[in-house]
Structure 1
Amino acid sequence: MMSGFSRSRAVGVLAAAALLTATAACGSDSGSAESTTAASAGKPEVVAAFYPLQWLTEQVGGSDATVTGLTAPGVEPHDLELSIQQVTELKGAALTVYIKGIQPAVDDAVEAEKSFDAATAVTTIPAGEHAEEGHAEEEGHAEEEHGHEELSYDPHLWLDPSRLATVATELGERLATADPAHAQGYKDRAATTAATLGTLDQEFTQGLSTCTTKTLVTAHEAFGYLADRYKLKQVGITLDPETEPSPTRLSEVAKLAKAEGVTTIFTESLVSPKVAEVLASQVGAKTAVLDPLESKPSGDYLSAMRDNLKTLQTALGCTA
C-alpha cells in the first residue's frame, strides 16, 4: 500500500452498483440475510474497510454492533474489488469506517453521510517526504505505468498507537450518533480501547529509547507514522510495493545504510522479499519481517505490534 493507488483496481464496482437494486430486492444472498438478522437483533451493521480498522471497530462496537470486514486475510487492501454483496453491505451499513485513498473501490461506494474517514481524526504526515532524484524518477515511472493518483498524505496512521487511540475516541462518537440507544457503551469502550493503545504507545516509547541506530530501512514506506512517533528515520526502498526501485535508488539506499551502520533491512509478509534481500547482500546486512498490519496477522493488532517492537529492538540494537 502506498501513497496512491490505481483507479483501475475498482473494476467491477460500477457493474456491482448497477445490479445492487435487483440484488437487494431479491434478498437471497447471505449479506442480506445477515443484515436482516442484525436488524432483528437491534444491532447496527458497521463495515470496516480493512484489518486495523476492523480490529478497532470491533473493540469499540463490542456487543452492540455487527462488524463486517471488507478485506479478507492475506489480501492487500488496495487489491480489493468489491462484490455485489459487499456493495450491498456498504449501502445498508449504519457506518463505514475507512481511510480515503487506500481503496478506490471503497471510496467510490461509500456514502459520505454514513462513513468515517479515520484520517480526518488525526494529524497526518506527508507521503514520500524524501526528495532524492532516484525516487523522483521512480515515482514518475509508477504514475506512468500504473496511473496512480498520489495521496498527499501517508495513510498508514494505524502504525502509531497514539494516533489510533485518537481514532478510537472519534469512532466512539460516530457510533454513538449512529446508534443513540447504545451511545454510552460505545463511548465507554472507546475510552478503554484508547487507554489500551496508550499503554502500547508507552511500551514503544520506552522500548525504542535506547537504540544504537535510529535508521529504519524498509521495503516500502509504510512506517512513517511509527518513525515519526518514536523519533526514528525511515528510509523506504520504494514508495509502493508494486513498483521496482530504480538502480539509482538502490545505490542511494545502500550507500546510506552502510554510512549509518544499518544491520537489518526490513521486508513484509505480503511483499516479495527479493529486493530487500538484494540490498541486504550489498550492505552486508540481514533481513527481518516488519508487519505493516495491512492484513490480519496470526494474532491480533496488539500482539502483532508487540512482535514488531521486539523485531525493532533486535534490529536497531536497543538495550532493555
Structure 2
Amino acid sequence: MNVRRLIPTTALAGAVALGLVSLSACAGTSDAADGGKGGKLDVVASFYPMQYLAEQIGGGHVAVETLTKPGVEPHDLELKPKQIGSLGEADVILYLKGIQPAVDEAIAQAGVKNTVDAATLTKLEAHGTGAGHGEEGHDHADEHAAEEGHEGHDHGSAAGTDPHVWLDPVKYAEVAKGVGSAFQKADPDHAADYEKNTAALVKKLGDLNTEFETGLKNTATRTFITTHSAFGYLAERYHLEQEGIAGVDPESEPSPARIKQLQEIAAKDKVSTVFFETLASDRTAKTLAGDTGLKTDVLDPLEGITDKSRGSDYIEVMRSNLTALKKALGAK
C-alpha cells in the first residue's frame, strides 16, 4: 500500500533534532527512567500490539505513548509533527518494522538508542492470500496481486514476509521476552520487576495458546475465509487454512477470479462464515457472503482496540476470536 507522508524527509530530521541532544544520557542506565515522564521510563509504541506489551511488561514504571490512536487503521497512519518530535525524546521506542512505512522512516530519523523492532525478536515468514495451502496459496496471492496491477502490500522487514506475528500467542510470547530484556537494559533499577512482569505475560500467552489448541483440535472444517489475510501465523499454529479475500492489505479489492475461486473453496470445504474486521469495511465480506449464502462474523486482527472491539485488551479479544472460529469451523 502506498502510505502518504505528511512530512518530507528533510522535515523529519528537523523535527527530531532537538530531541536528539538528550539521548546521550539515556540508554543503558537508570538515567533513562529519570528522564521519562514523572520519573518513569518514557516508551513510544507504534500501535496497539506494541502498546499492550509495553504496558504489561512495564507496569507502573513506564509511561506509554501510542502513535496509532484507537480507531485508526495502522497501515494508513500519517504522523503529525508533534508525534515525530516525541520520538526523539523517548527512552524506548517499540515498533514492528514493515507495518507502517511512515513510522519506520520517522524512527530511523529519530536515532534513539533503545529502539526495539519486534520483527527481529521472532522469525517472520511469508504467507500468501491462501495461507493454509502452502505454495499453492502463495501462487494465488501472486496471481491476485498481478491482476490488480500492483505487487501486493510490502509488509515485513524482508520483502514478502508477513508481520502479523502477534496473532500467534507463541510468537507474541517470543517478542514479549525480547521487549522485557530491552526494558531491563534501558532501566536496570527496575529490572527485577520487568523480568517478573514478562514471565507473567508469557504465562498468560501460554495459557491462551493452550485454549486455542484445545478449542480448535476437532472441527468440521479447517478452512476459514477472511477479508484481511492477517491470520497466517494463527492458521499455521493451529493447523487451519486461511483463505483471504484480498492479501495482507486490508483495503485492496479482490479480482473476479479470486471471488469465483473463493466460492468454489467455500462449497468444497464446507465453509459457513466469511470474516471481516473491526477497523476496515465489511462491504466485500457481505457481498461474498450474500453471493454464496454464507454468514458473516468478526475476526479481529487486533491492530487497535475501539468501543466496537469484542474485549478491552489483547487477551479478551483473542478469546473472542477463538469463540468466533470455533463456531464457524464447527468445533466439537
Is the Cα contact below 8 Å between 2:145 and 2:152 reproduced in 1? no
Change (3 A) 1:300 1:140: same
> Under a length normalisation based on structure 2, what TM-score does the superposition of the two structures give?
0.84
* Structure-to-structure mapping, 1:7-86, within 5 angstroms: 8-12=3-7, 14=9, 15-21=11-17, 39=36, 41-86=38-83
Deviation at 1:18, TM superposition (A): 2.5
Q: Does 1:95 align with 2:104?
A: no
Change (3 A) 1:40 1:112: closer
Query: For residue 252 of structure 2, what is the aligned residue in structure 1?
Result: 243
Q: Does 1:262 align with 2:271?
A: yes
Change (3 A) 1:152 1:113: farther
Distance 1:254 1:312 in 2: 19
Unaligned residue ranges in structure 2 (runs of 5+): 22-31, 132-136
Deviation at 1:17, TM superposition (A): 3.7
1:254 maps to a residue whose letter is: Q
Is the Cα contact below 8 Å between 2:147 and 2:255 reproduced in 1? no
Query: For residue 173 of structure 2, what is the aligned residue in structure 1?
Result: 165
Q: Does 1:122 align with 2:142?
A: no
1:91 maps to a residue whose letter is: G
Distance 2:36 2:74 in 1: 28
Identity across the alignment (%): 43
Query: For residue 30 of structure 1, what is the aligned residue in structure 2?
Result: none
2:326 maps to a residue whose letter is: Q
* Structure-to-structure mapping, 1:121-140, within 5 angstroms: 121-128=121-128, 130-132=137-139, 135-140=141-146
Equivalent pairs counted in the alignment come to 303
RMSD: 2.4
**More off after superposition, 242-251 vs 84-93:** 84-93
Is the Cα contact below 8 Å between 2:223 and 2:271 reproduced in 1? yes
* Structure-to-structure mapping, 1:124-203, within 5 angstroms: 124-128=124-128, 130-132=137-139, 135-140=141-146, 144=150, 149=154, 151-203=159-211
Is the Cα contact below 8 Å between 1:17 and 1:84 reproduced in 2? no
Deviation at 1:109, TM superposition (A): 1.6
Query: For residue 107 of structure 1, what is the aligned residue in structure 2?
Result: 104
1:301 maps to a residue whose letter is: Y
For 1:60-84, what per-residue CA distance to the aligned partner results, in whole angstroms no more than 9, with x for missing partners? 0111111111100000111111112
Query: For residue 303 of structure 1, what is the aligned residue in structure 2?
Result: 316
SS of the counterpart of 1:66? strand
Deviation at 1:147, TM superposition (A): 8.8
Distance 2:302 2:116 in 1: 20
Query: For residue 27 of structure 2, what is the aligned residue in structure 1?
Result: none
Is the Cα contact below 8 Å between 1:9 and 1:78 reproduced in 2? no
Distance 2:190 2:34 in 1: 18
> Under a length normalisation based on structure 1, what TM-score does the superposition of the two structures give?
0.87
Distance 1:148 1:200 in 2: 29
Deviation at 1:90, TM superposition (A): 1.1
Unaligned residue ranges in structure 1 (runs of 5+): 26-34
Distance 2:8 2:193 in 1: 35
Is the Cα contact below 8 Å between 2:275 and 2:299 reproduced in 1? yes
SS of the counterpart of 2:102? helix
Deviation at 1:136, TM superposition (A): 2.7
Is the Cα contact below 8 Å between 1:124 and 1:157 reproduced in 2? yes
Deviation at 1:41, TM superposition (A): 3.4
1:11 maps to a residue whose letter is: L
Query: For residue 290 of structure 1, what is the aligned residue in structure 2?
Result: 299
